[in-house]
Chain A
Amino acid sequence: MNFSEVFKQSNQLCKVSPDGKYLATCVQYRLVVRDFNSLQIVHLYTCLDPVMHMEWSSDSLFILCAMYKRGLVQVWSLEQPDWHCKIDEGSIGLVSSRWSPDGRHILNTTEFNLRVTVWSLCTKAVSYIKYPKACQKGVDFTADGRYMALAERRECKDYISVFVCDDWHLLRHFESETQDLAGLEWSPNCCVLAVWDNCLEYKILLYSLDGRLLSSYSAYEWSLGIKSVAWSPSSQFLAVGSYDEKVRILNHITWKKITEFEHPATIINTKAVVFKEVEKRPVVGSEDLSIHQLTVDNSLFSTQSKYEITQLPAQVPVIKPDPDRANPKIGISALAFSADNRFLATKNDNMPQSLWVWDMQRLSLLAVLEQTAPVRCFVWDPRRPRLALCTGNTKVYLWSPAGCVSVNVPVEGSFQVQSLFWHCSGSSLVLLSKEHICLCYMEAEEEK
């Protein structure tokens, strides 16, 4: 594994272009576009305000930079660096901004979710969508980019509007049977829309593309309900993570639960492997403590760590959440399927240092990774069954069915990995710390 040098960034704004050729980072006002392989700066743009959100268009030709405070969106072109575009929402304010899947329209959500404005880069047409719902995930585009689902709320009732992204024609508008819609997500095959209620009620609804209700699933009443939802890449499974620390898997034929994954504090399942991260501090002799050594050789302060396999039954460290606070830190907050549909990684909020990996073929627990610090971010390799995670320290951790490895980021000073993401080819990782980024190039051979 090779590590590149460190570059500056702000606001964790660093995105790779969809075609994988360029890496765009925002440093305060500036937008820096580099070639991904050579990391040479290709373009440099200056915005009017510190950039809050940056996004590549789907054809990798344009980048939008949103500055919410000023209500501005600036769009830059890679082909024509002179081309410029500025969208000013004025006093109506700007809360979020995103591209449409065709890369030619920008959807701006105004303050107080008053409306969604659809600005076109091709024509002078402007569309307004009224009453969008302010929720966790109110807008979703299909994977093929043809349709957009938008959650709306009128007269204390939830509605879902399906738009054709070509011309923003309203295809369907139907009422949703949720009490208070919290999110919606299209299935990867673009035919089913999963809609879930907010945590006060456990309800997940499945609508077909034309607005018919296919099925509804509710596991239990009264207790806090759904916390996270994920579709499997083949659309076969829908994983629903809830506050009761369980993940329920629904199948796409009957939309009934086929299994549920529990996250117990004691792991007894003998087929699972528990990897525990163990830190070992290097022993320092007194003669090593020279100033030179301290400044240059940061390995003195960075602790090496490795994974050890714990004997079963194993105890998972649990942090009991405060029962009096809202949005308790309990339940499955993050779910991710691997690209080949074979694995599911879950994180239970009251076991923040552990990451659970499930085998979807056998529908059983495969591995548990116990870290020394709470897991901040985990992402699957888009090509292979390989999981990268970080816990906010100077290491990046990789898990694959062959085993797992912890790699220290060999950067001067300490590089605390706050988040990471894969390059679309799966050959490199982009690590983000508070102010910097670092690229990690994977080697072709398998790790330990």
Chain B
Amino acid sequence: MGDWWTPTMMPDPSLDTKELSSISGISMSPSRQNLHHSLHSTMALPKTSYSVLSAFCTEENISQCIAYINQEVCSLGLTGVSLESKSGSLSAVPVLNLLYEVLQLQRRAQRALHELETQQLKNGSDLEHLQHSNCRLKDQLEHTRRDNSGLHEGERQLQLKIKTLQNWLKSEKEEVQKLQSIISSRATQYNHDTKRKERECTKLKERLNQLLMDKRDKKLCESFQMSYFCILCLHLCSAIEISNHVGRSDGKRGLWKTGKMEARHEGEMYRALLSDYETRQRSLMMENSELKKVLQHMKKDMITILSPKKPCIKTEPANDSLEQAVSEGEEEIGDSSRETLEQSCEQAREQLTNSIRLQWRKLKSHMERLDSQASLVACQEREGEEMMSRKEHEEEMQRMRMELQQCKEFIHMQQQLLQQQLSSPCDEETAALLNDCYTLEEKERLKEEWRLFNEQKRNFEQERKNFTEAAIRLGHERKAFEEDRAAWLKTQFLNMTPFVDRKRPALSEPHSALSVGECP
């Protein structure tokens, strides 16, 4: 904060060494002790701030101070103050202006400092954050590197496994081929051997046959020689002994074997074959015609499905295809009549199958288009009315929920009441009992009250009796008293004569009243 001015430029001898030392003390990093020391040393000055200022500027070096201040201020770019030589004192205005400007500077500097500080903090936190993320990313990288290496390892092992399996498979295949070749070679060998053995066997059979035939011939010859008249069929040769020949099973006579017979047989055989083929062909034709009919129906149905039923059609391309289909359909309906005529014609058959295929493809594409359109429309609907409908939807939902709640409560209440209703009349006995018990209670209460009431009544009666008795007594007593009084008065009156001894003078005066009274 600026350089402390050390008054080395202007050594003022008038300055006390104490003051100088104090200044120098302040110019050094002012520790509290020094400050206190300076404070103590300059006891004359009341405030600390003043002590600094007073150290800088005194009565004597005003001009130098001003000059210095002007210098400094100029260097800062502010207007200096001038010294009014007349009075030898500074005018307050420029000084205050200067001061204000200096304060402004100071404030700006402060602000800048503050900003720099915040910036510094921000940078610090950013740096911290970046460091953290850097660490994390490094860790992640490390981790992924490790995973990668692990996976590589696994892959390598699997590759090895694959290789071994492939090798094994190859070896197995080779073995199989070897075995097959062995089998085939053995088979040929066996075939050859069996053929050889078979040839031997046939030779033996031939020989045997020959021998047997020879034997038979010899025997026949012998027998012929033996007996001229009877040709005996000896036991050694094969012969049939039949009592009488049987007629043929079909009753007809046997026919001679001639070429005609052979031809007839051939003819019969072919006839049999032909009839079989004909029956088969007939059944296949029937099946074929049935299938054709089914296909025709299918085609007609498809045409009707593809033809536009409603006036509005969704999209342009669909329209075109439909029109096309309709036109083709019309053509084909015309064709079908021709087709029925030329059923067996191959062209017609191909035409039918081709047209069916075409229709089917069209139907398929139409269906796909419809599907996509439907999904699109559904999407659009959903998007367009999403904002509006959701709110409304929500409100509706809310309203419905409220209604539902109300209804539920209502129902609940109703149910309770119903339950009560049902529960009370259902047990009449208990209800009666309950009723009874309620009335009983009341009865009891009433009884109680009656009792009380009666008691009180009795009490009152009693008291009244007492009172009347008392009144009677009182009347009696009063009467008695009155009689007494009357008697006394009488006596008094009688005693009031002058001829009464003066013995009783006192009595006379009061009696006089009485007597007056009583004298009628």
Q: Which residues from chain A sit less than 8 Å from chain B, CB to CB?
A: 58-59, 62, 71, 75, 77, 82-92, 102-104, 112-115, 117, 119, 121-124, 126, 131, 146-147, 153-156, 164, 166-167, 169, 171, 179-180, 189-191, 200, 208-210, 222, 253
Contact = CB atoms under 8 A, between A and B. Distances in A.
Interface of B: 180, 183, 187, 191, 194-195, 198-199, 202, 205, 208-209, 212, 215-216, 233, 235-250, 254-255, 257, 261-262, 265-266, 268-270, 272-273, 276, 280, 284
A109 to B, nearest CB: 12
A171 to B, nearest CB: 6
A91 B238 CA distance: 8
A122 B247 contact: yes
B244 A83 contact: yes
B249 A103 contact: yes
Contact of A191 (B202, B208, B268, B276): B276
A169 B257 contact: yes
A19 to B, nearest CB: 13
A167 to B, nearest CB: 6
A167 B240 CA distance: 19
Contacts of B187: 200
B243 A89 contact: no
27 contacts: A59-B249, A75-B242, A77-B246, A83-B244, A84-B243, A85-B240, A85-B241, A87-B241, A88-B235, A88-B238, A88-B239, A89-B238, A90-B216, A92-B212, A102-B250, A103-B249, A114-B208, A123-B245, A153-B198, A154-B202, A155-B202, A156-B195, A164-B265, A169-B265, A189-B276, A209-B272, A210-B269
The prevalent SS among residues of A at the interface is: loop
A88 B255 CA distance: 27
B8 to A, nearest CB: 116
Contact of A167 (B195, B199, B255): B255
A167 B259 CA distance: 13
A169 B261 contact: yes
Contacts of A253: 280, 284
A102 B215 contact: no
Contacts of B202: 131, 154-155
Given A117-B238, A189-B276, A222-B180, A91 B212 contact: yes
Nearest to A131: B202
Contacts of A126: 240
A124 B237 CA distance: 16
Contacts of B198: 153, 156
Contacts of A75: 242
Contacts of A103: 249
A208 B272 CA distance: 11
Contacts of B236: 90-91
B247 A114 contact: no
Nearest to A102: B249
B246 A104 contact: yes
B240 A86 contact: yes
Contacts of B235: 88, 90
Nearest to B239: A88
Contacts of B243: 82-85
B399 to A, nearest CB: 52
A121 B245 contact: yes
A222 B184 CA distance: 9
A164 B216 CA distance: 30
A267 B237 CA distance: 59
Given A91-B215, A156-B198, A171 B273 contact: no
Contacts of B240: 85-88, 119, 126
Nearest to A74: B241
B272 to A, nearest CB: 6
A68 to B, nearest CB: 14
Contact of B254 (A147, A167, A209, A210): A167
Contacts of B250: 102
B249 A112 contact: no
Nearest to A77: B246
Contact of B273 (A84, A154, A166, A208): A208
B261 to A, nearest CB: 7
A113 B250 CA distance: 31
Given A164-B269, A167-B254, 14 more contacts: A75-B242, A82-B243, A84-B243, A85-B241, A87-B238, A87-B240, A90-B212, A90-B216, A91-B215, A121-B242, A131-B202, A191-B276, A200-B187, A209-B269
A222 B245 contact: no
A128 to B, nearest CB: 10
B272 A90 contact: no
A153 B180 CA distance: 29
B273 A210 contact: yes
A347 B248 CA distance: 41
B269 to A, nearest CB: 6
B270 A210 contact: yes
Nearest to B275: A191
Given A88-B241, A222-B183, A171 B266 contact: yes
Nearest to A164: B265
B253 to A, nearest CB: 10
Contacts of A169: 257, 261-262, 265
A114 B244 CA distance: 29
Contacts of A156: 194-195, 198-199
B242 A85 contact: yes
Contacts of B205: 112-114
Nearest to A108: B238
A191 B272 contact: yes
B63 to A, nearest CB: 122
A236 B50 CA distance: 133
A155 B196 CA distance: 10
Given A189-B276, A209-B272, A92 B241 contact: no
B184 to A, nearest CB: 9
Contacts of B257: 167, 169
A274 B208 CA distance: 56
Nearest to B248: A122
B209 A115 contact: yes
A175 to B, nearest CB: 15
Contacts of A90: 212, 216, 235-239
A113 to B, nearest CB: 8
A162 to B, nearest CB: 8
